[in-house]
Structure 1
């Protein structure tokens, strides 16, 4: 669970999210306990964890565990040692994949073939050195059958110079050319203010645990932090396909 969410729980902040009622008395008891901790909270889901008496709670895109009476909260990774499966990460992958699949590709800046072998979402910062290195190899990624979909994540936050540069790119007459110019350290031409998704994409990244750039997010919700070279990325993706034919 991120520091922001932990702060909400400890400080009694207000969070409003959709909740899928499961109609189970024990689930409702956990929900009531959560309401006492943070009045007004509406989690995305609550379900029994593999540990008896402990429940998985999804709130603000993060996963944590709570006892039915609300007395004990577990923050961290839940691992099934029998199968060597990180259950928390597997749940987060589902959450990330769902969040990404709900996005409109027209709000992204996309480089690559329409019928790509694989699609990779990249949270990027115009001023990030490794992001610029990644973009230098964009043609190589595309030649290997990878579609790169850029999402804005100005690390310095909304209102920063990096944020303003991202807005310039997304609002440019030719966003693709603007992205290439900006990541080469050149000024973006033909810029104008417009309605843009930069702030929303930045907030989405934060809710999904993104805290550095570039962060690569695969279609199944797997996160690859940092720069991954084209052939290495293809190898990772092909290994996933082989493991889950």
Structure 2
């Protein structure tokens, strides 16, 4: 049986800012139902690659493929409409909106008929569907009517991740989702990632917290100075060996 086609792929992607090379022939492939960790030191090129994958930035060279077909994102909206959801470090939540309002931000359900045409929202439908979506993502939330500013940092992050998982059809990109969270809250986030994998989504997990990467991923891709220097099953790394590859203490041939 032939090898499966990746659900999402960056192939030989390069990007420069003037004379500064951010990415050089970097490749990354992601399969449905797989969680990969994207790691590297500051300045390794992770943020640039994430922006390219999310449609926020166009590569100078290289190809983006979804289900084996080449794509060229004009904007993040293009990627969103194709099933790629990205959660950046700032979470992108509106603190004055309710949980359901945040889950449906930009995708609001309008009331039927004339009222909908006048801009009235169907808040009850949004509350029901938000609660169901968060539950499917592995997040039990009793307060979808409460505003986000009433919750802890970990709960806010859970809402943001739940929203991304709920709307993603193919790929979820999570940029430092466990940053500044306690052990219990971080564990809940990792469980949401596992639930996304069980639902058949491909997950890209960017993190500096190596124990979380080693716990939650199937494969690890290491960037160093804009190049992919390792792409191996997570089980082949220990915390020490992964750190050495990231820092260059253990040299691997660029891929």
TM-score (norm 1): 0.25
Larger Rg: 1
TM-score (norm 2): 0.24
More strand by share: 2
Relative contact order, CA 8 A, sep 6+: which one is greater? 2
